[in-house]
Amino acid sequence: MKHPFVSVIGTIQPGIIPQVFASDLENGFLSRMLFVYDPDDGEAIKWNDDEDLPSMAMERWLAFIGPAMDMGDSYNFNQKDSACYEFEQDAKSLLVSWQNLMEEESAESNGPYHIALLRKIETYIIRFSLIFQLMEDVDTGHTDNRRIKYSAATKAVRLAAYFMDNLVYTYDLVQTGKSVPIDKYMTFYDALPSEFTSQQALAIGHVMRLSRATIYRCLDVNSNDPYIEKLRHGLYRKKYQ
């Protein structure tokens, strides 16, 4: 095989992530992973008779993967221009705007590892754009297309934002050991005022259906906590607004 690659997919319980990746915050290994979190993780899961993969989904997958594999077989990788894709101007402008905005937000927040994470995601977003364009080309039958369009870039931006949020959450989890479903954690943090008491945090968390134990885990901070500073007993301040 002239162009080997390995795709690794696996699962891990969020509760053991801090122990597994504690030594990988500085070496860049953790930021090379793309994490997928289930917003409903922790809720009861019951089997039912409708769990089989829908036949329509399988038919769609087979209709896509065949032409996609044929496209790969038709490329001559010894010729640099045989499989070269270029961005259409509006698609390129979208990615430039996204990167500039992310760069500004990272600089303003000074969040731990935020810029380092962005450096990885901004390379992935190019690949996401290409993948989405290939999928569109196969779906429409335009397999001779060599232009990445705005529609593919838009999907790539959404996917990059999703993985960026998950990476920030994972780094926070490794640093603090706080295991909270990602959507609830970020919404809870955003809902807190600049300065707040433990009673205010409990009231906000109660509205969001967070348990009392979960809220107190979020407030169990030390001087190295990346997001919350404890001013004195029962009084806290957000580090980033």
Q: Are strands 228-232 and 235-238 parallel, antiparallel or unpaired?
A: antiparallel
The residue among 93, 92, 116 whose CA lies nearest residue 31 is: 116
pTM over 0.75: no
The 8-class DSSP code of residue 228 comes to: E
Compute φ and ψ for 143, nearest 5 degrees. Answer: -75, -5
Q: How far apart are CA 91 and CA 193, in angstroms?
A: 37
Q: What is the end-to-end Cα distance of the chain in Å, rounded?
A: 50
Q: Which segments of 39-194 are extended strands (E)?
A: 86-87, 147-148
Is residue 237 a contact partner of residue 231, using CB atoms and an 8 Å limit? yes
pLDDT of residue 118: 84
- Cβ neighbours for 239, distance < 8 A, ≥ 6 positions apart: 225, 226, 227, 228, 229
- Tokens (6 digits) for 8: 């690794």
Helix and strand element counts for the chain (H, E) = 8, 5
Distance CA 78, CA 83 (A): 10
pLDDT string in tens for the chain (241-residue length): 566 778 889 888 777 888 888 776 667 788 888 988 765 555 566 777 766 677 788 888 888 888 877 776 665 555 555 568 899 999 999 999 999 988 877 776 555 567 778 888 999 999 999 999 988 988 888 878 889 999 999 999 999 988 887 887 787 777 766 655 566 667 788 889 999 998 898 888 877 777 665 677 778 776 667 778 888 878 898 886 5
Tell me how far apart the alpha carbons of residues 40 and 18 are, in angstroms, rounded to a whole number: 20
What does the block give as tokens for 165?
């949020």
- Would you state the torsion angle of the CA atoms of residues 99, 104, 109, 111, taken in this order, to the nearest 10 degrees? 40
Q: Provide the edge-to-edge strand list for the sheet that holds 228-232.
A: 195-197, 235-238, 228-232
The Cα–Cα gap between 161 and 52 comes to 30
The residue with tokens 């993948």 is 131
| Predicted confidence (pLDDT) per residue in 144-157, tens digit | 888 999 999 999 99
Predicted local confidence at residue 90, as pLDDT: 96
Q: Supply the pLDDT for residue 115.
A: 78
The per-residue pLDDT of the chain, averaged, comes to 79
